[in-house]
Amino acid sequence: MAKSSLLGYPRIGKQRELKRALERYWAGESDEANLLATGRAVREAAWRVQRDAGIDLIPCNDFSFYDHVLDTICLVGLVPERFGPPEPEVSFRTYFAMARGAPGIPALELTKWFDTNYHYLVPEFDAPGPRLASAKPFEEFAEATAFLGRPAKPVLLGPLSLLLLGKRHTRPLVEHLDQLIPIYIEVLERLARAGAEWVQIDEPVLVQDRTEEELQLLRRAYQSLGHASTRPRIMLQTYYGSLDDASWDVVTGLPIEGIGLDFVRDDGNRALLNRHGFPQGKVLGAGVVNGRNVWRTNLVEALEKLEEIAEHVTPDRIWVQPSCTLLHLPHDVRLETSLPEPVRALLAFAEQRLEELVILTRAMNEGRQAILEELERNAEAFRVALDGARLYRRDVRERLAALTEDDFRRSSPYEVREPLQRARFQLPLFPTTTIGSYPQTPDIRQVRARWRAGKLSDEEYWTFIRERIADVIRRQEEIGLDVLVHGEFERPDMVEYFAEQLEGFVLTEHGWVQSYGSRVVRPPIIFGDVARPKPMTVEVSRYAQSLTQKPVKGMLTGPVTILNWSFVREDIPRREVAYQIALALRDEVRDLEAAGISIIQIDEPALREGLPLRRAGWPEYLDWAVRAFRLASSGVRDDTQIHSHMCYSEFNDIIEAIDALDADVISIENSRSHGELLQAFQDYQYPRQIGPGVYDVHSARVPSVEEILQLLEQALQYLRPEQLWVNPDCGLKTRRPEEVWPSLQNMVEAARRLRERYIVTAH
């Protein structure tokens, strides 16, 4: 019989219990025992809902207190020396130091997980070891099995993915791999002795372009794992895309019992299956339900995929599962009582995905006639929703159709704009600024919550916000920043704020998903055509600028980031949705300029994460992503300066696209990468201005003046002095004021010292 299976489940808790427990623990308001108890409660709640829904193969070890890649780093003992001497088992103290940094000790680099909005901590392979240094998989398997009354399915990040997602490979990859393999064999043997029947080993790197050498590493690893003397059966799981012919040949020939494939993201795996068939005796994990988007599954279409798969694989060797872990979905759409019913009827969150999987599995085992009632309800939900939701707007479609090439470019090239802007702003060498947001302290969140609950009037709320803006402008002036920001105190989130004011979006109340650690976001849902009914940021920007003679940046989130950080409609191309958002932002940019805002920042931190996982798709994506930014930004005068910010972005390989944005100034995340990002500018003569981040805003530490100076001097190896801006890595929203102001003071002092040095040299 076919079985239902899950690859992973949301791990922050239905009411964000883990987030709150982590924040209490880090603040010293709770101890390790309380944090462990919360973790156990969150795990048990996840297992309970899966068991009660009727899922056959329930995962364990998919939970994490911060990040599953960090858990794997601990499992194999890849702890860099800067975090202290090796421990028999990695402690919470070391675990969180690697995640968040410690006084004088930078954290591991944080970067995007494939093309999702999740972040992982990057393994460093120059660390001593590796060795088995965590009992987490064994403890959670025992815990899950006892709770469920049957063996759970442990989930591990595979050795090839761990290796290729890492950095600082000090030896040939094969040597690093050969050190990892014995640890993985020991893990498999211990799980088998504990009663594990199956283990899911994730190798998501296989859906990217892989070299022949890397595929030989895969073969080498799984020949060893597959021939381990005692082990559970292995389900090698891929997701976020399809294999190609070369990886298919290798994977299907491995001595393993199952292969998990994504049949949602594209048709690649379907074509491979139809072309090559499937190995006899192996189980196929059929990802036919979308693990990354919130739209209800069309059960007929999913069932047709399964029936096609069953032409190659007998139903008793099919696992019906999501396309990937459900980590990327909110918990339960039934909590969303305020959504418009036509839109709500189209949605399915994690708990609803369980129901869909069970229905589809039943159809595979009992025939389509067994789920006729469910199929009719599913079809009716689509009919009701499509009749009631306002998906299309004629004015938006007509405006898109009327665009010309002139709408996608500034009126003059940078060589003309730059002297006009220099004359207008009169900024010193190495100008200092921040990225946008300032700390959102508990009182700000409380005031916003009271306002939203109707307990504060609009006048009271906006008086409070203006007071905060005035205070942050004053403090920025006091420490000597050159270009100021208004602090974004009115914004709960850089995407949500705009989604709330744009037509075509809806917001959830409880639709939280994990970004990393305790950082959770509530992605908006784009269900229809996007339009801006009125200005969104002009009033606060105008007020902030009225308080100072220094320029205050207007702050907008870019079209590609709004797109990539939302759950996006699937009935029209993403390019078209991006252009709709860009047109709304273009109107906002023009209104800001008319209100006297002379520097406008359009943040695109998510530009790179939208890249297709295979390079063949890059040119098309980068073409429309760049054009969307230019459509939003190019309607201004030559002496208006356009900034953009990109965080967590490795962009050495897309530097030409960054250049094509034609932003006057870009700021980039840099401090955690130890200057690696700047190497992009070694061979590429980037013509405009750049602010490489000089301190890590994700770590709870104050960088010294010398540390910042060192990063600036490093940047000057690649950039001309007149190109260099001085700024943090990212926004300061999640940091505490007592960390922020000393850090910025040191940043300004570092810029001052560097300026003095260059002025003396010039004379």
Task: Dig out the tokens for 86 from the structure.
Answer: 């090796």
For CA atoms 159, 165, 167, 171, give the dihedral sign.
Answer: positive
Phi (first) and psi of residue 276, to 5 degrees = -110, -15
Bridging pattern class, strands 318-322 and 283-289:
parallel
Residue 647, annotated ligand binder?
Answer: yes
Residue 215, classified by CB atoms within 10 Å of its CB into exposed (0-12), middle (13-18) or buried (19+), is: middle
Residue 73, annotated ligand binder?
Answer: no
Residues 6+ apart with CB under 8 A from 394: none
Rounded Cα–Cα distance for residues 437 and 492 (Å): 10
Task: Dig out the tokens for 228 from the structure.
Answer: 């381990």
Residue 437, annotated ligand binder?
Answer: yes
Residue 565, annotated ligand binder?
Answer: yes
Distance of CA 377 to the CA centre of its chain: 34
Q: Which residues of 578-588 are buried (b: 16+ CB within 10 A; e: fewer)?
A: bbbbbbbbbbb
Residue 669, annotated ligand binder?
Answer: yes
Rounded Cα–Cα distance for residues 584 and 535 (Å): 9
DSSP labels, 218-275? HHHHHHHHHT-SS--EEEEE--SS---HHHHHHHHTSS-SEEEEESSS-SHHHHHHHH
Can you tell me which residue has the tokens 């004629």? Answer: 394
Residues 6+ apart with CB under 8 A from 539: none
Residue 603, annotated ligand binder?
Answer: yes
Residue 488, annotated ligand binder?
Answer: yes
Distance of CA 280 to the CA centre of its chain: 38
SS3 138: helix
Residue 324, annotated ligand binder?
Answer: no
Residue 108, annotated ligand binder?
Answer: no
Residue 227, annotated ligand binder?
Answer: no
Rounded Cα–Cα distance for residues 328 and 276 (Å): 31
Angle at 367 between CA 361 and CA 371, to 5 degrees: 70
698 is catalytic: yes
Can you tell me which residue has the tokens 């918990």? Answer: 331
Residue 443, annotated ligand binder?
Answer: no
Rounded Cα–Cα distance for residues 603 and 749 (Å): 26
3-state per-residue secondary structure call for 343-368: HHCCECCHHHHHHHHHHHHHHHHHCH
Rounded Cα–Cα distance for residues 32 and 34 (Å): 5
Distance of CA 115 to the CA centre of its chain: 7
Residue 16, annotated ligand binder?
Answer: yes
Task: Dig out the tokens for 112 from the structure.
Answer: 């995007």
Residue 609, annotated ligand binder?
Answer: yes
Which of these is catalytic: 227, 331, 698, 763? 698
Task: Dig out the tokens for 351 from the structure.
Answer: 């708990």
Q: Which residues are annotated as a binding site for 5-methyltetrahydropteroyltri-L-glutamate?
A: 16-19, 112, 117, 565, 609
Q: Which residues are annotated as a binding site?
A: 16-19, 112, 117, 435-437, 488, 565, 603, 609, 645, 647, 669, 730
Catalytic residues: 698
Q: Which residues are annotated as a binding site for Zn(2+)?
A: 645, 647, 669, 730
Q: Which residues are annotated as a binding site for L-methionine?
A: 435-437, 488, 603
Q: Which residues are annotated as a binding site for L-homocysteine?
A: 435-437, 488, 603
